[in-house]
Amino acid sequence: MKEERDPSQSEAVASENRCEPRRSVEVPVRVTFDDGVLDGFTENLSRAGILCFLDSAPRVTVEWNEGDGSKTRVGRIVRVNRMGSDRTGLAIEFEANGSGEGSERPR
């Protein structure tokens, strides 16, 4: 029997695992895959799709504009969520550069 969970508890647990505070921002973004070819192994296969695991998290460059100008950060995709037939959510963890900020790439 599957146990029912209270969604508010899931959000509370997720927020406790955050290492930095978040703020809502809705601006256009560009994600560029740096790795080209990604190697890994399959776990299962069907006519509808394949589940595979990569040897490492894909490295990406993320670019966006905010009020104080354009931003560029380098990071790794740590989660992918399909949000319906026409939307996919990417969770990208920025690489640290020692100051707590994400790694910047010159433009």
Question: Which residue range(s) make up the domain with 60?
Answer: 27-94
40 occurs within a structural domain: yes
* DSSP symbol at 2: P
Residue 73 included in any domain: yes
3 in a structural domain: no
pLDDT tens-digit readout, 89-105: 999 999 987 333 444 54
| Cβ 76 vs Cβ 58: under 8 Å | yes
Total domains in the chain come to 1
Pairing of strands 29-33, 59-66: antiparallel
Tens-digit pLDDT profile for residues 47-78: 999 999 998 889 999 999 988 889 999 999 99
d(CA 33, CA 2): 38
> What Å distances lie between residue 72 and 14, 27, 35, 75, 84, CA to CA?
26, 13, 17, 10, 28
